Amino acid sequence: MTRVSKRSLKRKAGRGLGASALITAALALPLSFGTAAHADAPDKTDNKLTAGEVLKPAESVKSRNGQYKLIQQSQGNLVLYGPGNKAMWATPTSGAPAYATMQREGNLVIYNSAKQPLWSTNTAGNPGAYLTVQDDGNLVIYSADNRFLWSRHAYVGSLPSGHTLKTGQWVQSPNGAYKLLMQKEGNLVLYARANKALWTTPTANQPGASATMQKEGNLVIYNASKQGVWTTKTAGNSGAYLAVQNQGNIVIYSKDGKALWSAG
């Protein structure tokens, strides 16, 4: 299966992930955990975690309107809180003290106290990228030239190994024409522009389901009870990832770029 090339489009100024947002990103960037040259403390006066800055346990970054706060918790999770101190998003890194760093090559990474990587946004290859907590509650990584790379709602181009799509989250093609959405009734659905459904998993009537690109290579739909209800049967390919391409293909690639499965 041939992969498409990148296209560059400007995003709307001052907006995060509006329906008309135009984006650019690589289909699949290598997972990189290179450490920063030195750790910088976050600037408490802005809403960003810029290249080289680190959030230590109990440190936080707030939106400009003060309604949203991203805090590195002492038990390991990086958590976004909204109004009423309601948790809106968190990394799956609880269990031990950890810290978050916006690395200079563009990756947001959670490390444990032994400096072992636990989780990443998989946005390496974008030197100078930064994380911002927006006034609308979105958590977004932009490149140095303000291209959208990642958010708490959406991935661009690919779902990396070990990552999960929960209800309302999606992977969109780099050109923005296609979106693979985890729906609230349990189906994982590919949409074209104008919300035209092109493909779906047979997993309806499973409210609260999620889709996980497992580390061993399988894409699995789990119901709310964490029982597997559908899979691509691509286990045995550690590091494989799912790509949503500009022509509308959904493909699982091995970590060395071999096509393992396609939605057709």
Q: How does pLDDT run across 54-69, given as a tens digit for each residue?
A: 999 999 999 999 999 9
56, 141: one domain: yes
Q: Are residues 92 and 172 both part of a single domain?
A: no
Among the listed residues 68, 90, 88, 69, the one whose alpha carbon sits nearest the alpha carbon of residue 79: 90
Q: Give the model's pLDDT for residue 2.
A: 38
Select from 151, 184, 215 the last residue of a domain. 151
Residues 175 and 138 in one domain: no
- Partners of 69 in the β-ladder: 62, 81
Q: What is the pLDDT of residues 93-131, one digit of tens each?
A: 999 999 999 999 999 999 999 999 999 998 999 999 999
36/125: higher pLDDT: 125
Q: Which of 110, 128, 142, 133 is nearest to 25 (CA)?
A: 142
Quick one: 107 and 218 in the same domain? no
195 and 247 assigned to the same domain: yes
- Report the pLDDT value the prediction gives residue 9, as an integer from 0 to 100: 31
Q: Whose CA is closest to 262, among 181, 206, 184, 180?
A: 180
Which domain covers residue 145, as residue numbers? Answer: 23-32+46-151
Whether 6 shows a pLDDT value over 60: the answer reads no
Distance CA 162, CA 123 (A): 14
CA dist., res. 92 & res. 211, Å (int): 14
pLDDT of residue 69: 96
Separation of alpha carbons 260 and 100, rounded Å? 33
For 32-46, 105-119, 149-163, which range has the lowest pLDDT when averaged over its residues?
32-46
What is the DSSP track for 1-59?
-PPPPP---PPPTT-SS-TT------S-PPP--PPPSSPBPP-TTSSEE-TTBEE-TT-
196 and 79 in one domain? no
Q: Are residues 138 and 169 in the same domain?
A: no
Query: Mean per-residue pLDDT for 129-144?
Result: 96
User: Quick one: pLDDT at residue 44?
Assistant: 66
pLDDT in tens, 8-27: 333 333 333 333 332 233 33
Domain ends where: 92, 119, 151? 151
Is residue 69 domain-resident?
yes
Average pLDDT, the chain: 86
CA nearest neighbour of 208 among 168, 179, 235? 168
**In this structure, is residue 136 part of a structural domain?**
yes
* Mean pLDDT computed over 245-255: 96
Judgement on whether residues 141 and 182 belong to the same structural domain of the protein = no
Residue 12 placed within a domain: no
Can you give the pLDDT at residue 193? Answer: 86
**Whole-angstrom distance, CA of residue 247 vs CA of residue 198:** 12
Mean pLDDT along residues 239-251: 96
- In the structure encoding, which two tokens stand for residue 201, read together? 């998993």
Query: Cα separation of 188 and 170, whole Å?
Result: 9
Residue 139 and residue 204 in one domain = no
Verify that 147 and 163 share a domain, yes or no.
no
Are 197 and 187 contacting, i.e. CB atoms less than 8 angstroms apart? Answer: no
d(CA 81, CA 102): 19
Q: Which of 151, 169, 195 marks a domain boundary?
A: 151
Q: Is residue 88 part of a domain?
A: yes
Residue 82 — φ and ψ, nearest 5°? -115, -165
| Residues 208, 142 within the same domain | no
- In the structure, what pLDDT confidence band is assigned to residue 33 with cuts at 50, 70 and 90? very low
Domain total for the chain?
2
pLDDT of residue 46: 87
The more confident residue out of 1 and 256 is: 256
In-domain check, residue 65: yes
Query: 208, 207, 168: which is closest to 189 by C-alpha?
Result: 168
Pairing relationship of beta strands 78-82 and 86-90 according to DSSP bridges = antiparallel
Residues 75 and 176 placed together within one structural domain of the fold: no
CA distances to 52, 69, 119, 199, 233 from 55, rounded to whole Å, are: 10, 12, 14, 40, 38
Q: Is residue 203 part of a domain?
A: yes
pLDDT over 90 at 251, yes or no: yes
**Sheet with 210-213, side-by-side order of all strands:** 164-165, 210-213, 219-222, 228-231
In a domain, 40, yes or no: no
pTM (predicted TM-score): 0.72
* Domain assignment present for 248: yes
CATH number at residue 108: 2.90.10.10
